Amino acid sequence: METINKTLRDSKVARWGALAIISITMFAGYFLTDVMSPLKPMLESEFGWSSTNYGIFTSAYGWLNVFLLMLILGGLVLDKMGARFTGLMASGIMVLGASIKYWAISNPCTPDSTILGMHTQVFLASVGFAIFGVGVEIAGITVSKIIVKWFKGYEMALAMGLQVAVARMGTLLAMAAPVPLAMYFSSKHTAVSASGELIEKMGPSISAPIAFALLLLVIGFIAFFIYVTMDKKLERSVTASGNVDKEEPFKFADIKKIILNKGFWLIALLCVLFYSSVFPFIKYASDLMVNKYGVDPELAGIIPSLLPLGTLFLTPLFGSIYDKKGKGATIMIIGAGLIVFVHAIFSLPVLNFWVLAVALVILLGVALSLVPSAMWPSVPKIIPENQLGTAFSLIFWIQNWGLMGVPLLIGYVLDLTNPAVLEAKANGTAIPVYDYTAPMLIFTLFGILAVVVGFMLKIEDKKKGYGLEKPNIVKKA
């Protein structure tokens, strides 16, 4: 009888195999998300972009998700149509967006060429990035629900931690590889001169890293077809075992239940504050290393690449601790506290030693391991499983306000607090270094607010009994 009641998810090989397959897609998505970060100095020197241009481009990630509610729509599709359909749809959208972004970067324009008042190349690259942003965010919520489906009652936090770790490998590669790739594929290409004219010159191929990212996304798209086959087998095994879930199907009225849940809002606020102090920082981290710590531009991406390196081991470790010991809310508070410390030190106009920058980036990686390892596995404790797709999409939608607005804010603040840089670019003279003090103080503020919300979540957990401080693993009778 025990054998009959087994399902495919009870097989360690099957559930971990499913996790490995879907992680390929997220690895590729994270790589394209940050592939332009180390290329910011090249975008300025080759195409004449300003920090505001770069800020507009990076903010485009959330345009469609935020203003057209595409991410929320994706969550509704996930709950109504299931993970197989939604995952394939999201993977295809990622490939489409990356293709447009590649085309835009491969075709520079003069500064006076505009669309809707925006520099043409920046606009087209932003459109591609915005479309990609829809795909990768919907893929993120889909993968989260898939992990809950396969690992509920098992090593769910560890599984989520490992998936995040693999995805962070994409970020690591995006920090370290783009500049070497661009230099390796150096060729004669069209660039923008200091006077704003298109010229032919020998130099780095900025489009080469984008092409590599596009190839990875195609591989991830194909990998998801393999997962679809496994998911069908899982459902057949669940039906055969007689252990079919008795949950009610998702209803649109459930949206009201989600948004009236105070625990949901605290998780969502913690998410947007935490990620707004990390991911936008990554977008500017290589440039920070060049301007504040005097690191060679060709090597500047290596230091930020150490940030996701630590998460490869620590996120699964902290997730395993949460699975076995609990203390989810406490883990999130500690991670947010580290964010405050790191950005506060980065904001100091002194201590400009690259060794210190390395130490701070590693510590930031610890924070990036702590919070997600406890935050995402906590959502299923607050929200019923049949509402998870919509709940995750709402959290990601709120997060996208930060991912959209903060990079643009940082780019604007950089130009506002460094007028000499803009003047030098306009005059074609030597460009002075950027002062990053103000942006780092902004990131510090986000960290402080995240700590406050973390304590509020811990208090709410005590009132409602969500079990955030309890282990995830359910001992089988």
CATH code that applies to domain 8-242+254-464:
1.20.1250.20
pLDDT score recorded for residue 263: 92
Q: At what angle do helices 51-59 and 40-47 cross, to 10 degrees?
A: 120
Please report the beta strands in 370-439, taking only residues with DSSP state E, as ranges in sequence order: none
d(CA 78, CA 211): 29
Residue 389 has pLDDT above 80, yes or no: no
Sign of torsion, CA 117 118 124 129?
A: negative
| Residue-averaged pLDDT of the chain | 86
Q: Which residue has the higher pLDDT, 205 or 313?
A: 205
Summarize pLDDT for 325-353 with one digit per residue, the tens.
888 899 999 999 999 999 999 999 887 88
DSSP H/E element including 203: strand 198-203
In which band, very low, low, confident or very high, does the pLDDT at 300 lie, cut at 50, 70 and 90? confident
What are the residue boundaries of the structural domains of the chain, listed by start? 8-242+254-464
d(CA 348, CA 45): 28
pLDDT score recorded for residue 158: 83
In which band, very low, low, confident or very high, does the pLDDT at 242 lie, cut at 50, 70 and 90? low
Tokens, residue 351: 């201590």
Residues contacting 77, CB < 8 A, separation 6+: 85, 86, 89, 138
Nearest to 210 by CA among 62, 104, 55, 53: 104
pLDDT score recorded for residue 264: 93
Residue 434 has pLDDT above 90, yes or no: no
Residue 247 has pLDDT above 60, yes or no: no
Residue 114 has pLDDT above 50, yes or no: yes
